[in-house]
Amino acid sequence: MQRRIYIAVFSAGLVSLAIEVSASRLLSNYFGSSNLIWACIIGSILVYMAVGSIVGGRWADRSPQPELLYGILTWGAFCTGLIPCIAKPILRSASIAMDHLAIGPLVLAFIVVLILFSMPMILLSMVSPFAIRLLLDEPRSSGNISGKIYAVSTAGSFLGTFLPVLVLIPTIGTYRNFLVLSIFLFLISFWGLLKTKLSIRKVLIKYGWMLPVLALSAWLGLRGSDKIVTGMLYEKESEYNYIQVQQINGYNLLRLNEGQGIHSIYTSDTLDYGGTWQQVLSAPFFNPPPYTSSDVRSMAILGLAGGTSARQAASVFPTIQIDGFEIDETVVDVGYEFFSMDIPNLTVHTEDARIGLRNMQKQYQLISIDAYRPPYIPAHLTTLEFFQEVYDHLTEDGVLVLNVAQIGGDYRLVDALTATIGQVFPSVYTSDVPDTFNTMIYATRSSTTVQNLYNNYLLPDQTGSFPALLRKSMEITILNLRPLEKSELIFTDDRAPVESLVNNMLIDFYRTGGVEKLQ
């Protein structure tokens, strides 16, 4: 009996942590993966586990029967399996609310889904105290038994931390991941039940109905796309992202996770998409004139996505060689399939942008950072130390360019980043992107002036050195230049409160009626 109880404890520990990790992935597809979302998930799960531990201990004292332990595990399996069926329609409504910026329904959906995890987590948390009571023969062995139980549970939790992220979610997706965890628990609990005093007939009468109900709920819950969107061409969950490709008005659009940003765009008819991608092209021309497109020969893109900026750069700069860094291999595959990323002078590196750049033993004339995911950005790509690494990988005529969000005219994030970059780079400029909430930041390794950009723009194009797309990019940059605002906030590896700053900006935007103005 002891071996079966330890296996039950191990299984409960595995699935409980797997649910927690999977919950974060499930919710990040719709609400993002900010620290605030993580805190809500972890805080809620801890509350559920505390409740389960108390209830399980009291229940075990009143009725210390093995069949009750396995019954609790069976109900935990059933509730885990119901998560996809119940969560999917709620999260679809959350997706619609997000698209329409309906904050109330969005928050309500988030709370409801968090509550959805309460039953399986409470039930699974009851297993360890129940097991201790069943295995406790005499008070002198209580410490030893408790230690073993929590060690076995922790070992299961350790495995449960990695299993969904590394195996299940990339292979079968988040929703089916919950079903696999449910089936696994059913097998363990039924095996335990059949070893108790209960007959097979009694086990089937008491719990057998759960399997067809679960099968029906799985069939209902897994049909269709995860989100209701127009023109869906592709949908997949990778190790890092929930990936969607839409086709709207002949344009392929790449969206990741909650889908509030378009990360790449493609159509075969043009390279002029507007937006932020082509504003990267202006960056080298802050160098002293005459500076032409043939002078730009090397580029690194941190956050390649589907390669929109790379294709534009390859068309404008005829001799350029590009290193593109993208952490998500599935996004790279999507880039080749849907965004024509088979560019001869592009070398793709599937690794973290900061680590990848650090490992490159070369310098670039242009480094573009497009790894900021709206509305939140990775803090380790905003710090003084990171920008020093970027500086060290630029040639003397090298330029850094990055795209940053400003929310309804709130430039606090832009100002903090320009202040941080200004600690490393001698010259920093900003230019708003028309009809968007985006600002481009340009920083040159050598001391320059904005007059250089004007003079390069006015150079006569006698040799075709300034294609129309480049001219347009330079013109937009010039017309939308804005003065730098002072900020006392400097991001460092030790302290980079990026998310709290963005949270405050979003709250102020909502509080001042910015959402209503957009609708």
Which of 93, 74, 119 is CA-nearest to residue 213?
A: 74
Q: Where are the alpha helices (DSSP H) in 163-209?
A: 169-172, 174-194, 200-207
Residue 188 belongs to a domain: yes
User: Which H or E run includes 291?
Assistant: none
Domain encompassing residue 477: 272-518
pLDDT recorded at residue 105: 58
pLDDT recorded at residue 519: 46
Residue 267 belongs to a domain: no
Q: Are residues 400 and 319 in the same domain?
A: yes
CA distances from 416 to 249, 420, 456 (A): 37, 6, 29
Q: Where are the alpha helices (DSSP H) in 32-65?
A: 35-62
Paired tokens of 402: 């990055």
The 3-state DSSP class for residue 199 equals: coil
Mean pLDDT of 382-395: 96
Q: What is the maximal distance between C-alpha atoms in the chain?
A: 94
Residue 129 belongs to a domain: yes
The 3-state DSSP class for residue 422 equals: helix
Residue 414 belongs to a domain: yes
Residue 251 belongs to a domain: no
| Backbone φ, ψ for residue 105 (5° rounding) | -60, -30
Instruction: Convert the pLDDT of each residue in 277-303 to its tens digit.
Output: 999 999 999 999 999 899 999 999 999
pLDDT recorded at residue 518: 45
Q: Are residues 162 and 311 in the same domain?
A: no
DSSP 8-state class, residue 43: H
The larger pLDDT score, comparing residue 108 to residue 59, is at 59
Q: Is the pLDDT of residue 310 over 60?
A: yes
Q: Are residues 337 and 425 in the same domain?
A: yes
Residue 137 belongs to a domain: yes
Q: Are residues 465 and 391 in the same domain?
A: yes
> Are 165 and 21 spatial neighbours (Cβ–Cβ below 8 Å)?
yes
In CATH, what number is assigned to the domain containing residue 149? Answer: 1.20.1250
CB atoms within 10 A of CB 330: 17
Of 94-98, 152-156, 504-508, the range with the highest mean pLDDT is 152-156
d(CA 480, CA 50): 55
User: Which H or E run includes 468?
Assistant: helix 468-479
> Are 147 and 77 spatial neighbours (Cβ–Cβ below 8 Å)?
no
What residues form DSSP beta bridges with 427? 444
Q: Is the pLDDT of residue 90 over 90?
A: no
| Backbone φ, ψ for residue 231 (5° rounding) | 65, 35
Residue 264 belongs to a domain: no
Mean pLDDT of 2-6: 90
Question: What angle, rounded to 10 degrees, do the helices at 35-62 and 498-511 form?
Answer: 100
Q: Where are the alpha helices (DSSP H) in 100-167?
A: 103-116, 118-125, 127-135, 142-162
DSSP 8-state class, residue 241: -
Our measurement of the distance from residue 122's CA atom to the centroid of its chain's CA atoms, rounded to an integer in Å, reads 27
Q: Is the pLDDT of residue 230 over 80?
A: no
Q: Is the pLDDT of residue 517 over 60?
A: no
Q: Are residues 175 and 295 in the same domain?
A: no
Q: Are residues 14 and 101 in the same domain?
A: yes
What is the DSSP annotation of 320-345?
-EEEEE-S-HHHHHHHHHHS----TT
Q: What is the number of structural domains in the chain?
A: 2
Q: Are residues 84 and 167 in the same domain?
A: yes
Name the pairing type of β-strands 427-433 and 242-248: unpaired
d(CA 166, CA 169): 7
Instruction: Convert the pLDDT of each residue in 434-480 to its tens digit.
Output: 988 899 999 999 999 999 999 999 887 656 667 889 999 999 999 99
Q: Which amino acid is at 404?
A: V
The larger pLDDT score, comparing residue 160 to residue 503, is at 160
CB atoms within 10 A of CB 314: 19
The larger pLDDT score, comparing residue 217 to residue 421, is at 421
d(CA 197, CA 297): 77
Alpha carbon dihedral 142, 144, 147, 153, in 10-degree steps, equals: -90
Q: Are residues 132 and 279 in the same domain?
A: no
Q: Is the pLDDT of residue 18 over 90?
A: yes
Residue 237 belongs to a domain: no
d(CA 192, CA 49): 23
CB atoms within 10 A of CB 171: 12
Mean pLDDT of 302-329: 94
In CATH, what number is assigned to the domain containing residue 489? Answer: 3.40.50.150
User: Which H or E run includes 405?
Assistant: strand 394-405
The 3-state DSSP class for residue 287 equals: coil
Q: Are residues 207 and 68 in the same domain?
A: yes
pLDDT recorded at residue 504: 83
Residues composing the chain = 519
User: Which H or E run includes 302?
Assistant: strand 298-302
Q: To the nearest whole percent, how much of the chain has pLDDT over 90? A: 58
Rounded to two decimals, the pTM is 0.82
Instruction: Convert the pLDDT of each residue in 327-358 to its tens digit.
Output: 999 999 999 999 999 999 999 999 988 899 99
Last residue of a domain, one of 197, 221, 245: 221
Q: Are residues 206 and 351 in the same domain?
A: no
